[in-house]
Amino acid sequence: MTDSYGLIRQIEEQIAALPAGYISKKNINGKTRYYLQWKENGKVKSQYLREEEAEEIRVQIEERRQLRKRLKELKKKFPAVKENVRKFETKVRVGNELAGMAAGVKELEKREVYHRIPKYLYGNVRTRVCVVYGLRRTGKTTMLLQAIADMSEEDFKKAAYIKLRTFDEMDSLTRDLDRLYQAGYRYIFLDEVTLMEDFIDSAALLSDIYVPMGMRIVLSGTDSLGFWFARDNELYDRERTFHTTFIPYREYSRILHMDSIDEYIRYGGTLKAGETDFDDEELWEEGVAFRDDESTRRYIDTAICKNIQHSLSCFAFGKYFGHLQSLYEAGELTGAINRIIEDMNHRFVLEVLTRPFVSHDLGITARNLKKERDPGKRTDILKAIDKEAVTRNLMKILDIRNQEERKIGITPSHVVQIKKYLEALDLIVPCPIEYGMAGMEPEERILFTQPGMRYCQAQALVHSLMKDETFHMLDRETASYVTERLLSEVRGRMLEDIILLETSKALGKGYEVFKLVFASGEFDMVIFDKANNACAVYEIKHSSQCVREQARHLLDKEKLGLTSPRFGDLAGRFVLYLGDNLDTEDGIAYRNAEQFLKSLPDFYPFPKRTSQSFRKNDIP
């Protein structure tokens, strides 16, 4: 009986996803035109089809006809199943079927935010729903099923899981909620709820009607911006919200059982498909989201760009498009969002890679290659490269504007609005920056919460160096070695961003965490303990070697003198790197960056005052 029930439900879902009606062919002004026609509410409706679409739709119509025929036969063969199938209009899972789904995730590691779900389910929530949102592959569905798997036997009998689809509507969902309530179900998990076009404009029904009746409703979805709109309008002050997009290194390491910051730089930002979205067969085949440039572009397009576009089009009949309306109407909004994300990544790469070529500052890569201890790897090839040509080539590659291919240009207003939405998605965070002296020109820096996305694009661009003629003539071993050293510079800058972002998010309101920029040079990170009026300063290096030059800014009396009067007693000077913990004679504490990140948020940077702790009046 259960198998027949599941088969009938599956066929009904397949039918609902296929086009109804028939294709008509008309001759208009000597040209053949194709139309899909169907009846809706007693009226005949039609949709124009391009010739190449007509044959595909015709095949789908025939497939639908065959499925309807098979469905009729099954319902006739299993009449007892018929009424059960009609019981729910949406994709409801309860009982043994739900138990099987939950069993698959019971032993998986839990996200740090998971505890908020059971806290909501068994707490005093009055008129609130629980909202779990974030980009694809960040563990949302898994957490819902883990909450179900952890239920007592008595509570499980009252649990229902509904996975919404694009053709579902709030009316059909509320009718199913009424049926579930009458049948005694009290714990409702609504997955992919933002796929419903009318969700944003009617979300308050869930908190205002069903929660007061005694239901506990957990909502989840990948259209994060849709929840953002719903929270500020329909669900204002009637929801408990937490995000899954940001996955810090400590959590990524624990869940996936890996201890390499370089692996996090390469792939961080999403969890592996097999561990987070077992219900999506395509993700099993795709594997890691950021394995190459193409998979990264596909993720940006599907998980971010279409997320924004879908939410805007569904909310208040699209009235919140604002400056983006013209791009949307021209069919260029997704492309514009993609270009802005790429542009931010490319500017980051350009800054990291061209700075060594045009200033003395890095030169460090070239100097390190020339001083390499292993004579077989020692080379001064970077001095032989045509640096201006390489820089021009990089800038040419990074020019993604392609103005001639666009109907409408991207204006500063477009950029501001899209960045606002990217921040709402938790994809980007403005980098906190303080300046060492008055009159310095402010600069904009962006921190990405998904390092794998940034690194993958950086990697593709760095390999463009192979187009340089001198570089191209190198033997492959040397070329590969030099390219890897350049990628190491990118990983170094990304390590700075990761540590700054994760520390600022972890330490809470009692601290300020920022980059401190001087006229020449900067502290990669400063932690200011507001309650104790004390600060610690950091340099961050993607290296396992302890080299005195790494701490040159931490030993600079002028920089230290500009820091302590503003941010309190100088309690410590640290280099975060990839080597072992050690303390130097000149008061610099070297600490392992991976251990530092794993210790958050419990890490406390300020040791008890010793002779190595400095007040603002006794800078060394």
Average pLDDT over residues 576-603: 91
Torsions phi, psi for 152 (to 5 deg): -70, 165
Average pLDDT for 544-549: 86
Spatial separation of the C-alpha atoms in residues 507 and 556, rounded to whole Å: 27
- Report CA torsion sign: 181, 184, 186, 191: negative
Count of Cβ atoms closer than 10 Å to residue 213 Cβ: 10
**% of the chain with per-residue pLDDT over 90:** 26
Q: Which one is predicted more confidently, 491 or 85?
A: 491
At 486, the pLDDT band (50, 70, 90 cuts) reads confident
Query: What pLDDT is recorded for position 205?
Result: 84
Q: Looking at residues 15-25, what average pLDDT do you find?
A: 82
The residue-averaged pLDDT of 327-339 equals: 77
pLDDT-derived band at 232, boundaries 50, 70, 90: low
What residues contact residue 475 under an 8 Å CB cut-off, 6+ apart? none
- pLDDT band of residue 375 (cuts 50, 70, 90) is low
How far is 125 from 133, CA to CA, in rounded Å? 19
pLDDT band (50, 70, 90) for residue 465: low
Worst-scoring range by mean pLDDT, 58-67, 368-377, 468-477? 368-377
What residue ranges define each of the domains in the chain, with the CATH number in brackets? 2-87 (no CATH), 92-310 (3.40.50.300), 508-599 (3.40.1350)
Q: Return the pLDDT at 577.
A: 94
Give the pLDDT score at 481.
64
Task: Determine contact, residues 333/327, Cβ cutoff 8 Å.
Answer: yes
Contact 348, 492 (CB under 8 A): no
Amino acid identity of 37?
Q
Is the pLDDT at 284 greater than 50? The verdict is no
- For residue 40, pLDDT over 50 is answered with yes
Q: Residue 221 half-sphere exposure, CB side, CA atoms within 13 Å? A: 28
pLDDT of residue 128: 85
Give the side-chain half-sphere CA count within 13 A for 296.
22
Q: Rounded to an integer, what distance in angstroms lies between the CA atom of residue 143 and that of residue 113?
A: 9
Pairing of strands 522-529, 569-577: unpaired
With 70 as the cut, is the pLDDT of residue 462 above it? no
Give the model's pLDDT for residue 482: 66
Q: How sure is the predictor about 358, in pLDDT bands with cuts at 50, 70 and 90? A: very low
Which residues touch 325 (CB under 8 Å, ≥6 apart)? 318
Residue 454 has a pLDDT of: 79
Full strand arrangement of the beta sheet holding 31-40? 22-28, 31-40, 43-49
Q: Which of 64-78, 227-241, 286-300 has the lowest mean pLDDT?
A: 286-300
Give the residue-averaged pLDDT of 258-282. 65
What does the alpha-carbon distance between residue 254 and residue 220 come to, in Å, rounded to a whole number?
A: 23
Q: For residues 190 and 162, is the Cβ–Cβ distance under 8 A?
A: yes
> And the tokens for 415?
């950029």
> In sequence order, which ranges of 30-115 are alpha helices (DSSP H)?
51-77, 79-87, 95-103
Per-residue model confidence (pLDDT) at position 318: 58
User: What integer pLDDT is reported at residue 397 of this predicted model?
Assistant: 47
Tell me which of 50-54, 61-65, 320-324 is least confident: 320-324
Of the two residues 306 and 509, the one the predictor is more confident about is 509
Q: Rg of the Cα trace of the chain?
A: 29
Q: Is 513 helix (H, G, I), strand (E, B) or coil?
A: strand
What was the pLDDT predicted at 231? 66
State the average pLDDT over residues 358-371.
Answer: 48
Token digits of residue 187: 């714990």
Between 253 and 229, whose confidence is greater?
A: 253
What DSSP line would sit under 536-583, residue for residue? EEEEE-S-SS--GGGGTTTT-HHHHHHHHHHH-EEEEEEEEESS--EE
Q: Is the pLDDT of residue 385 over 60?
A: no
* DSSP codes joined into one string, 430-480: EPPEEESSTTPPP---EEES-HHHHHHHHHHHHGGGGGSHHHHTS-HHHHH
The 10 Å Cβ neighbour count of residue 430 is 11
Lookup result for tokens 């103005």: 403
CA atoms within 13 A on the CB side of 146: 23
Nearest to 87 by CA among 18, 9, 187: 9
> Which residues of 492-533 form beta strands (DSSP E)?
511-517, 522-529
At 248, list the tokens. 């810090």
Query: Averaging pLDDT over each range in 207-216, 349-358, 496-505, which range is the top one?
Result: 496-505
pLDDT in tens, 129-184: 898 988 878 889 999 999 999 999 999 999 999 999 888 888 999 999 999 999 89
Q: Are 523 and 551 in contact (CB under 8 A)?
A: no
Res 499 pLDDT > 90: yes
Q: Residue 548 — φ and ψ, nearest 5°?
A: -55, -35
Q: Does 50 or 91 have the greater pLDDT score? A: 91
| Residue 533, pLDDT score | 92
Written in H, E and C, the secondary structure of 103-120 is HCCCCCCCCCCCCHHHHH
Residue 418: closest CA among 349, 343, 348: 343
At residue 464, φ and ψ (nearest 5 deg) are -65, -15
- Return the closest-CA partner of residue 118 out of 157, 151, 93: 151
What pLDDT score does 280 carry? 42
Q: Which amino acid is at 600?
A: L
Q: Which residue has the tokens 């000077």?
A: 573
* pLDDT of 553: 93
pLDDT above 50: residue 406? no
Mean pLDDT of the chain: 77
| Element containing residue 25 per DSSP (H, E) | strand 22-28
